Structure 1
Amino acid sequence: MWTRRNVLQALGAGAGLVAVPAPIRRALAAAEPDLILRLTARRDEVSLWPGARTAVLRYFGQVLHGRTDALKPSPGYLGPTLELRRGERVRIEFRNGLAEPSIIHWHGMLVPESADGHPRFAVGPGGEYVYEFTVRNPAGTYLYHPHPHGRTGSQVYRGLAGLLIVREDRERAYGLPAAEHELSLAIQDRRVDDNQLVFKRTMMDDMNGVLGDTVLVNGMPDAAFRVTPRPWRLRLANVSNARVYKLAWSDGRPLSVIGTGNGLLSAGEGIQTRPYVVLGPFERVELLEDFGARRPGAEIALVSRDFAGVGMMDMMGGGADGMMDGMMGRGMGGMMGRGMGGMMGPGQGEELNLARFAVAAAARSPGETSRLPPAEAPPQGRHELRTRLAFRHMQGFLNGRRFEMAAVAGDERLPLGKGTVWTFVNDGGMMAMPHPMHVHGVRFRILERSGGAPADLGEGLVDAGFKDTVLIFPGETVRLLVAPTEPGLFMYHCHNLEHEDGGMMRNCLFGPPVRGQDRARRGSLQQRRNKEMETSTAASQRTSFAYGSGRRP
C-alpha cells in the first residue's frame, strides 16, 4: 500500500521517483516536462579504421517528447550530444542494455540527489532509471558518463560518454559566435591493437590510470575540421580516463579562454590569454579562436605539448632520478621502465597530435565584438573543511578513508546555501601523482593554489571562473569556495577513473541533518546495497514503465 507518507519516505531515503510505482509517479509528475529523452546503453561495433570493426559500448538516444534538436548524433562511438536550455524541465529515461550494472551521472550539472547518478542507484542488466530535473546551470559545456562503482573506468573507456551543452538566450547578447560557428571536441586517448580498444594490461594501470597510444576526438581517429576565416567558439573536453593534456596550437599562437568547466568567465575576469592550457581528466574549457587571423588555406593542429612526467611510470622509468635506475643501476631501470611504458602506451607528458584544422580560402569575417557576463556575488559564510589526498599500497585515500556506499564522516558535511572553504592537500610522497578532484552537485571557485605545479605547466592552469573538477599536483594545496544548493547525499572523488574505481571516492552530505535522518539514511542505503544484486531483475521490471503512460517504453 503506497501512501503519501510512503512516497515521501522513499524520496527522503534517496531512492528517487524511480522506486515509486507508475500510477503514483503519474500523480507526482502531473505537469508534463518540456523535454523527454531516452538513452540506452548497449554493445555495438563501429568502423574506425580499415579492416575489422571495433567493439564498443554506446549510448543511443531518442527524443520522446519536445524539441527534436535536443539530441545531436556523434560521428564516432560516443553518445549523442545533449543540448538543453536553462530553465527547461527535463526527463531522461536510462535503459541499461549492458550485461552489468550501470547508471548515468550528469557531470557538472546541478540536479537533485535522486538525479545525480550515485552508484547506489545503479540498475542491473535490463533495468531502467528515470531522471527528472530542471536545468539550472548557466550556459556551458558539460558531460555525461556512467558511474557504477568499480566499473566506471571500463565503461567510459569502451565508449560510454557524451557531451552535454546548456544554452540560454542571453548568450547572443554577448556577441559570441552562433551555433553554426561552434566546434566541440571530446578528446580521449586509447590503446589500440588489431582495431580493438585495449583496457588494462598491468598493475601500473591501476596506479597511473590507463594511458593510450592513439588519440580520438568525438569517438573518431585522425580528427580534421574545415573552418571559415572568422571567430569560432571551441568547446574542448578531456574525456580520457587519466591523461593530462597541455593544449596548444602548432603555430604557437596563444589560446583565448572564455569559459571553464561550469560556464563562461565573468566580465571582471575577462578573456584569459594563455600560451597553452592544461586540462585534467573531465575538465572542460571554451576558447574564442579567430581563424581569420591566419592566412586563407592555412593548416594548423591542436596538439598536446610535452611536459615533465607526473605519473608513477615516470618515477619508475628512465633518467638519473628514476626509481628503477636507483635500484637496478642506471640504464637497466630505464630499459625496464620503457618496456613497461610500451605496454601502457605513451606516458604522461609525451607530445601528441589531437586534431587538424584547415582554414578555408575565403573572405575574412570579423564577427561581433564578444563580451562576457557580469560576475555573480560570492556566497556568504566561511565553513571550513580539509581533505588530504594520499596514494599508498596502490590505493587512493581521502583523509585516510576509502569508498563506502552509504558512509558519511563528520568532516564530510556542507551547509546549504552558505560558503564553505574546502582545502585539498596533495602531500605527495613516494607514490606522488596528480589527482583531478571532482565534487558532485555543485560548482565552485578556486580561491588559492600553492605548493608547486610543475614549472612547465603553471602558465596553462586556468583557475578563473566556476569549476566542478580541479587538477591538484603532488605537493599542492588548493582551496575552493563552494556553496551547495541541493540537499542530499552527493559524492566527491578523484576523476582519474582507475583511482575512482579503486576506492578514492567518498560521500558528502549537503544540508543540516534532522533527528534520525543520518541513521535512517545509512540503514536504508545499506539495505538497498545488500539487496541490489539479488533483486536487479525484479527491480528492472518494477521500474520499466514510462511516466504517465502505463506502458513499457
Structure 2
Amino acid sequence: MKRRSFIAGSMAAIAAPGLVGRVRAQPVFGGQLPIPPLMEVGEESGNRLDAIEGTHAFIEGEQAQTLGWSQDHLGPTLRMRRGRTARLTIGNRLESEITSHWHGLHVPGWLDGGPQSLIASGRNIEQALDIDQPAGTFWYHSHPHGRTGDQVYRGLAGLLLIEDDRADTSVLPSAYGVDDIPLIIQDKAFTRRGNLQYDDGGMAAMQGFRGDRIAVNGALEPVAHVPQGLVRFRLLNASNARVYVLSFDDGRRFHQIASDAGLLPAPVSRSQLQLAPAERAEILVDFSNGAEARLVSQDVPVQMMGGMMGGGMMGGGSDLEVLKVVVGGSRPATVSELPQEFSGAYLPVFGEPVRRREFRLNMMMGMGMMRAMFGGRPTFGINGQAYDMGRIDQQLRRGETEIWEISADMMSHPFHVHGTSFQVLTQNGISVDFAETGMKDVVWIENSAEILVRFDHPATPEAPYMYHCHILEHEDSGMMGQFTVS
C-alpha cells in the first residue's frame, strides 16, 4: 500500500475528516458584517495593542471565551505607510506568553515577533518598524511555539495594511469599510453551550484543526452591504488549517489585483480563487448591476490535499457559506472602471542565485502516528528534525539570492518564510507565471515547489527568522526551522 493511501485510510478510520464539534445552540447568521476599527500607526507614540481575554457572541444567547488585540476578539486593522516608522507598544494582559509577529513585513529578526521574541504576562514592549516595502495586505498574530494554533484560533490576529505614496492607487476603491472591505476568514467549532472548541492533539493535529462554521471578521455568515459599482475585498485566510476555494454562487467572475506581498502587474480574471492558510488576496468585484450574491467556498476533504485521493485541491465537495453581499450601501462606489495595469505593482528584483537549499516537510516522525492515534500531539519536522529553539538550522548572507526547493510527503502544506517576500518559480515541476501570483510569502506545497528568495535585513541567533508550515497544528508540533541572516 502506498504511504499516502495508508495515511488517508488511517485518518478516515480514526476520526471524521477534519471536523471537531458541532453547533447545538442556534447560531447567529445573517447579521451585519463587522468592520474592524482602523488604527493609523505612525511615528508618534500612543499606538498601543494589548492582548486581552474577552467574550464574543458567535451563538445566539451564548458568550464564547475569546482572545483579542485591544478588543474582545481579533484586533483593529493597522495602517502603516511606506517610508515612515510605525511605533507601537505591545502589551500582554494574558496569563500566558505571547509574541507579536508581523506576517509579511520586511523587518529585522528582533522585530519580526517569532517564537524567540516572547512577551511575558504583564509586560510591555516598544517597537519601531521602519516600513520600506510596496503597498499590500498583511496581518499580525501571536506566534509562541506550541501555542500559536490555540491563540490565533481564539482571536489573537488582525489585518495590517501598507500604503505607498509612490503607487497610483487612485484607480482602486479605497474607502475603508465601504468599497474597500477587509474579510478575515476563519473556521470555528463550538461546544453545546456555544463556546469555542479547539483540539490540537490526535487526528486534529495530524490533519490540522478544522471547524464546521465559517466566521468573517468574527461573525458567522454575515451580510455585507456594498455600493453599486466596483468593490475591493481584502481576503485573509486566518484559519488554522482549512483551505478555501472561493467563488460566487451566481457564477460571476471577478478580478484578482493583489496577492500576499502586494499588487499584481495587472488584474487577473477568475471564477474561483484558492487561499491556503495565511495567504492573502485582493479582488475587485463588479456590483454595478445591483444583484446580490453569496461568497462561498468548496468544502475540500482533508484527504484530497496533496492528491491523496487523486482529486487535488480544486475538486468536489459541498459549498460552505462565507458571506452574503447585498447592493445598496449608503455611500456610492468611488471607482466604476476596471484598471488595466498598476504602476505600483511589486516587481521582483533578484540577482543570479548563488546556491540552492532543499527543505523536506516531514509528517509523523518517530512515534508520531502512535501518539496521534491515542490523542496525543504527533511530532513533525523539516529535513528530519523537529523544531528546536536552541538550534540554528540555516545560515544565510544578506543580499544573496537563493533557490529554495520545498517538498512534502503524505499531504499538502502552506510554507511560510519570515522576513521577506519571494517569487514562486515552479510548482510540481511546472513553471509559474509571475503575472498570476505576484510576490508571495506563503507557497502551497502539493508535492514540490521552487522559490527565488533574498533577505535584506539581519537576523541574529538570539532573534532568528522562521520558515514553517502554516497549518498551525503542524507548526506547533515541530514543522518549523529557524535561520540567521548576516
TM > 0.5: yes
Seen in structure 2, the aligned counterparts of structure 1 residues 377 and 437 have a Cα distance that, compared at 3 Å, is closer
Paired AA for residue 359 in structure 2: T
Aligned to 1:251: 250
Given that residues 185 and 234 in structure 1 are in contact (C-alpha distance below 8 angstroms), is that contact kept between their aligned partners in structure 2? yes
Identity of aligned residues (%): 35
Deviation by residue 1:475-526 (Cα, 9 ceiling, x = unmatched) = x210101110101121100110000111111101123xxxxxxxxxxxxxxx
Q: Distance in 2 between matches of 1:136 and 1:440?
A: 16
Deviation by residue 1:511-547 (Cα, 9 ceiling, x = unmatched) = 3xxxxxxxxxxxxxxxxxxxxxxxxxxxxxxxxxxxx
Query: Aligned to 1:78, which of 74, 77, 81?
Result: 74
Query: Aligned to 2:402, which of 420, 423, 426?
Result: 420
Query: Aligned to 1:271, which of 263, 267, 274?
Result: 267
Cα offset for 1:309? 4.0
Seen in structure 2, the aligned counterparts of structure 1 residues 139 and 378 have a Cα distance that, compared at 3 Å, is same
Query: Aligned to 1:481, which of 430, 442, 452?
Result: 452
Deviation by residue 1:397-439 (Cα, 9 ceiling, x = unmatched) = 2111111113123xx233211211111012x2xxx11111100
Aligned to 2:17: none
Alignment of 1:357-368 (within 5 A): 357-360=325-328, 367-368=336-337
Aligned to 2:5: none
Q: Distance in 2 between matches of 1:202 and 1:312?
A: 20
Given that residues 436 and 469 in structure 1 are in contact (C-alpha distance below 8 angstroms), is that contact kept between their aligned partners in structure 2? yes
Cα offset for 1:202? 5.4
Deviation by residue 1:372-421 (Cα, 9 ceiling, x = unmatched) = 12563531131211111121233322111111113123xx2332112111
Q: Distance in 2 between matches of 1:255 and 1:510?
A: 40
Q: Distance in 1 between matches of 2:484 and 2:130?
A: 21
Alignment of 1:135-534 (within 5 A): 135-173=131-169, 175-179=171-175, 180-193=178-191, 194-200=193-199, 203-266=202-265, 270-292=266-288, 295-296=289-290, 298-307=291-300, 309-310=302-303, 350-360=318-328, 367-370=336-339, 371-373=341-343, 376=347, 378-382=349-353, 383-392=355-364, 393=368, 394-409=378-393, 412-426=394-408, 428=409, 432-450=410-428, 464-473=437-446, 476-488=447-459, 489-511=464-486
Given that residues 264 and 436 in structure 2 are in contact (C-alpha distance below 8 angstroms), is that contact kept between their aligned partners in structure 1? no
Q: Structure 2: give runs of 5+ residues left out of the alignment.
A: 1-41, 311-315, 369-377
2:83 pairs with 1:87 = yes
Q: Distance in 2 between matches of 1:45 and 1:477?
A: 42
What is the aligned residue count?
419
Given that residues 43 and 58 in structure 1 are in contact (C-alpha distance below 8 angstroms), is that contact kept between their aligned partners in structure 2? yes
Cα offset for 1:360? 2.3
Q: Distance in 2 between matches of 1:484 and 1:241?
A: 27
Other structure's SS at 1:153 match: helix
Q: Distance in 2 between matches of 1:108 and 1:482?
A: 13
Q: Distance in 2 between matches of 1:35 and 1:122?
A: 22
Q: Distance in 2 between matches of 1:137 and 1:219?
A: 29
Paired AA for residue 298 in structure 2: R
Other structure's SS at 1:499 match: helix
Seen in structure 2, the aligned counterparts of structure 1 residues 198 and 308 have a Cα distance that, compared at 3 Å, is closer
Aligned to 1:532: none
Seen in structure 2, the aligned counterparts of structure 1 residues 150 and 220 have a Cα distance that, compared at 3 Å, is same
Aligned to 1:538: none
Deviation by residue 1:31-70 (Cα, 9 ceiling, x = unmatched) = x934541111111112333212121011107xxxxxxxxx
Seen in structure 2, the aligned counterparts of structure 1 residues 361 and 173 have a Cα distance that, compared at 3 Å, is closer
Deviation by residue 1:121-162 (Cα, 9 ceiling, x = unmatched) = 212211222221111221110000001111110011111100
Aligned to 1:105: 101
Aligned to 1:119: 115
Cα offset for 1:254? 2.2
Given that residues 208 and 312 in structure 1 are in contact (C-alpha distance below 8 angstroms), is that contact kept between their aligned partners in structure 2? no
Aligned to 2:67: 57
Given that residues 414 and 470 in structure 2 are in contact (C-alpha distance below 8 angstroms), is that contact kept between their aligned partners in structure 1? yes
Given that residues 309 and 349 in structure 1 are in contact (C-alpha distance below 8 angstroms), is that contact kept between their aligned partners in structure 2? no
Seen in structure 2, the aligned counterparts of structure 1 residues 126 and 242 have a Cα distance that, compared at 3 Å, is same
Other structure's SS at 1:103 match: coil
Cα offset for 1:173? 4.8
Aligned to 2:6: none
Aligned to 2:35: none
Seen in structure 2, the aligned counterparts of structure 1 residues 365 and 85 have a Cα distance that, compared at 3 Å, is closer
Cα offset for 1:232? 1.4
Other structure's SS at 1:115 match: helix
Q: Distance in 1 between matches of 2:57 and 2:249?
A: 29
RMSD (CA atoms) = 2.9
Between Structure 1 and Structure 2, which shows a larger proportion of helix residues?
Answer: 1
Seen in structure 2, the aligned counterparts of structure 1 residues 60 and 183 have a Cα distance that, compared at 3 Å, is same
Q: Distance in 1 between matches of 2:422 and 2:380?
A: 23
Q: Distance in 2 between matches of 1:349 and 1:125?
A: 43
Larger Rg computed on CA atoms: 1
Other structure's SS at 1:229 match: coil
Given that residues 39 and 60 in structure 1 are in contact (C-alpha distance below 8 angstroms), is that contact kept between their aligned partners in structure 2? yes
Q: Distance in 2 between matches of 1:200 and 1:413?
A: 35
Paired AA for residue 134 in structure 1: D
Cα offset for 1:231? 0.9
Other structure's SS at 2:116 match: helix
Paired AA for residue 472 in structure 1: I
Cα offset for 1:178? 2.2
Q: Distance in 2 between matches of 1:494 and 1:263?
A: 21
Seen in structure 2, the aligned counterparts of structure 1 residues 365 and 145 have a Cα distance that, compared at 3 Å, is closer
Q: Distance in 1 between matches of 2:333 and 2:132?
A: 37
Paired AA for residue 376 in structure 1: L
Other structure's SS at 1:271 match: strand
Q: Distance in 1 between matches of 2:82 and 2:346?
A: 18
Deviation by residue 1:340-381 (Cα, 9 ceiling, x = unmatched) = xxxxxxxx9552110000122999986245231256353113
Q: Distance in 2 between matches of 1:201 and 1:508?
A: 26
